[in-house]
A and B are shown apart, each in its own frame.
Chain A
Amino acid sequence: MNAPKNLLTEETSRRAREHRLAKIRHEAKEHGQVSDFTRLSERDPLSKAELTGYYGTPVLKRPQWTIEIPLYFFVGGVAGAAALIAAVGKLSSADTRLVRQSRWLAAIGGLVSPALLISDLGVPSRFLNMLRVFKIQSPMSVGSWTLVAFSNSAVAAAVLGEFNKRRGGRLVNVLTDGAQIVSVLTGLVLATYTGVLIGATVIPAWNEHVGTLPIHFAASGTAGAATILELMGNESKALNRIAIGAAAVETAMGVSIELSQTPPSESLKSGIGGWAMRGAGVLSGPVPLLLRLLALKSRRSRISLRKAAAISSIAGSLLTRWAWIQAGQVSADDPSVPLQLRRRVSSSGDGMDDHENQKDPR
C-alpha cells in the first residue's frame, strides 16, 4: 500500500504528549476536575459505538435518479388525471372542447412520460427489457407496464376521438370509448403508483410516508391536469371544483408533513429539500385554495384569480416532486436512522467523538 508520508517523528510525538499532560494539569487546576477525556472507556477498547457509526458515512446509497424522474412524476400524474377528466367530462356531456383538450393532454403526457423515463436509464436502448417480465412485487415493473398501456390507450383515444368527429360511426365510437376506459384505469395507477415506487424503498424519509405519498401524488397530479386545462382556456366550473378539492388535500398533506416528528421526517423539513417541500406545500395548498375561494365571491376578477391559482398549483406540483426526491437524497446520507443511533444516545447518554484529540497513525 502507498502510505502517506506524514508519520509523526519521535520528537513531535513526544512534544504532543507533554502538551497534552500540561493541558490536563491546567484544566484540573482551573476547574477542579478534568472533563475533556480522550479515552473511550475502561472496558474493551472496541466495544463502544461511536455515535456516528462508521465515520458518519452513509449506510444507504443515494437515489441515483436524475431530474427526469421528478419531471416524469409530474407529467405522468398530469396525464393520468387528464384521462380521467376526459372520460368523466364525456360521460356528463361537458363541452366537447374540454373533452378533446383533456384527451390530447393525456396523450401528449403519455408520449412525454416514457421519453423522460428512458432518458434517465443508464442504458436507454434497453428500455424494452422492462417488458421482459412482470413482477407484481416491483413497483418499477408494475409502473412500466402501466405506462406502456396508458400511452397506447391515451394516444388511441385522442386519435380516434378526432376521427370520430370527422366521420363518426358505431365502430369508431365503441373503439374510442374502449381506449378511453383503458386510459382511465391505467391513468389512475399512473398518477398514484409513483408514491408507492419511492415509498417502498429503504430511504427512511420515503418509507416513513408510504401510507400518504400516493395520495399526495394523486392530488398533485389532479391539480396539475385541472389547472393546465384552465390555462388552455377552459372555464368549466367542474375544473374549478376539482382544483379546490386537490388543493384541500394538498393543504392537509403539507400540514401532516410539517407536524411529523419522527427522525426519518427530519429531512423533509430541513435544508433545501425542507424549504422546497414547505414552499411546494404552500403553493399547491393554501394559496390556490384561497384564490379560488376569492374567485367564487368576486365577479370582476374571477378569471384572473383562477389563472393565478392555476399557475401557483402547477409550480407547487413541480416543486413537490422535486422536493421529495431531494429529501430522499439527504435522508440516504444520514446513517443515524438505519443504525438507530438516536435510540442509543437516549439510552446510554454519554457517547463522545474523540477524533479531534487523537493522532494520526499513518
Chain B
Amino acid sequence: MSGTAFLTDSTLCIGCKACEVACKEWNNIPSDGFDWKGFSYDNTGSLGHSTWRHVKFIEGGVVAGLGGNSPDLLSWGFSSDVCKHCENAGCLEACPTGAIVRTEFGGVFIQSDVCNGCAYCVVACPFGVVERNPDAGMAFKCTFCYDRQKEELKPACATACPTESIKFGDIDELRGEAEDRMARLKQAGFNDVYLYNPQDSSVGGIHAFFIVRGDPERYNLPPSPEVPTTYLRKGWVSAAIGAGLMLAGTLFAFGQDK
C-alpha cells in the first residue's frame, strides 16, 4: 500500500463540523437540512451523495465532567467519518463504465463525466458511502480532494480541522503515527481506545483509518467488511449450474417427443 491517507483521531474531535462545512464549500455540494439524530447535533446522518464528511455524535452515559456537560446530561464522543478509500474497493471493482478509478495518490475517484448512474457501486460499498444523486443522476462520494492533492495541498477537511483530529499525509508515516498515538493514549489512561483499520479483511486495508473510543460498532464501523467480489466465484458457479439445468432440461423435454 502506498500513497496518502487520513488518520481521523476522534479523541481530539470537538464536533465543530468544520470538516463537513469545508468539504461542502470546496466541493460545492448541497446542504442536508436539519433533521437531528438522537439527542445530538448530527443533521447529516450518514455519508451519502451530498455528505462526504460526516461528524458522528456518539451519546454515552451520564458522567459528570465528561465533555463539559452538566451532571445530569449524557456525555458525547465525536468522530468524523469519510470514504475509506479501500485498497480493494468494492465500488471500483463493480463500476461497469470504468468511471471509478484509483488515483496516483492511492485514493478512489469517480469521474463524473463518465458515470452513467447505474447505481451498481451503491450496493458494492461495504461502508455505505457512495450514493446516486437523484437529481444529477450520477454517483458521488469523497474525492480525497484529488484536485487539491494534485496541487500539493491537503484535503479541505484536514486543512479546516482546528484540532488536528483529521490528519493527512503519507500512509506509512500516518500508520506509525497512529500506533504512537494509541500508545500515548493508553499510557494516559484511555483504556478503551481502538484503532479501526481492517487490514485482515478482504478489503485489504483502507486509506482512512480511525482512532475511536469504545467499540467501533457504535460508530457504525463494521468489524469485518467484505468486498463483494469475494462472492463472485460462488455466484458464477451457480449461474453455470442454472444454465446447465436449463440446457439439459430443454433438450430432455424436446427429446421425449421423438
**A residues apposed to B, CB below 8 Å:** 1-4, 13, 16-17, 38-41, 43-50, 53-55, 57-65, 81, 84-85, 88-89, 91-92, 94, 120-124, 126-127, 129-130, 132-133, 135, 137-141, 144, 188-189, 191-193, 195-203, 207, 210-219, 222, 236-239, 241-242, 245-246, 249, 328, 332, 335, 338-341, 344, 354-355, 358-362
Contacts and interface: CB of A to CB of B under 8 A. Distances in A.
Interface size class of B (residues with CB under 8 A): 35 or more
B34 A123 contact: no
Identify the interface centre among B117, B192, B217: most chain A CB within 10 Å of its CB. Answer: B217
Contacts of B120: 138, 140, 197
B22 to A, nearest CB: 14
Contact of B231 (A45, A54, A62, A207): A207
A249 B244 CA distance: 13
A234 to B, nearest CB: 13
Contacts of B133: 122
Contacts of B139: 122
B245 A215 contact: yes
A44 B242 contact: no
Identify the interface centre among B72, B235, B237: most chain A CB within 10 Å of its CB. Answer: B235
A236 B257 CA distance: 9
A249 B245 CA distance: 10
A16 B62 CA distance: 14
B38 to A, nearest CB: 5
Given A63-B123, A355-B59, A358-B39, A46 B77 contact: yes
Given A50-B218, A84-B250, A339-B223, 5 more contacts: A45-B60, A47-B213, A122-B139, A140-B94, A191-B246
A53 B241 CA distance: 39
A193 B56 CA distance: 38
Given A47-B213, A192-B243, A242-B250, A338 B222 contact: yes
Interface in B228-258: 228-229, 231-232, 234-243, 245-247, 249-258
A246 B245 CA distance: 9
A199 B235 CA distance: 7
Determine chain B's interface SS by DSSP, over half rule. Answer: loop
B229 to A, nearest CB: 5
Interface in B62-118: 62-63, 66, 69-70, 72-77, 90, 93-99, 114-118
A127 B245 contact: no
A54 B254 CA distance: 57
A45 B61 contact: yes
Given A2-B34, A84-B250, A202-B90, A58 B128 contact: yes
A196 B254 contact: no
Contacts of B58: 46, 54
A341 to B, nearest CB: 7
A219 B242 contact: yes
Interface stretch (B1-9, B40-48, B151-159, B166-174): B40-48
Identify the interface centre among A127, A201, A213, A355: most chain B CB within 10 Å of its CB. Answer: A201
Given A49-B218, A135-B98, A338-B222, A362 B232 contact: no
B243 A218 contact: yes
Nearest to A354: B61
A45 B128 CA distance: 27
Contact of B124 (A54, A65, A202, A222): A202
Given A64-B132, A249-B245, A132 B98 contact: yes
A47 B17 CA distance: 23
A201 B90 CA distance: 8
Contact of A245 (B34, B241, B249): B249
B96 A140 contact: yes
B117 A44 contact: no
Contact of A121 (B98, B116, B232, B257): B116
8 contacts: A47-B213, A57-B45, A94-B257, A121-B117, A129-B97, A202-B228, A210-B234, A216-B242
Contacts of A48: 214-215, 218
A213 B219 contact: no
Contact of A92 (B77, B116, B234, B258): B258
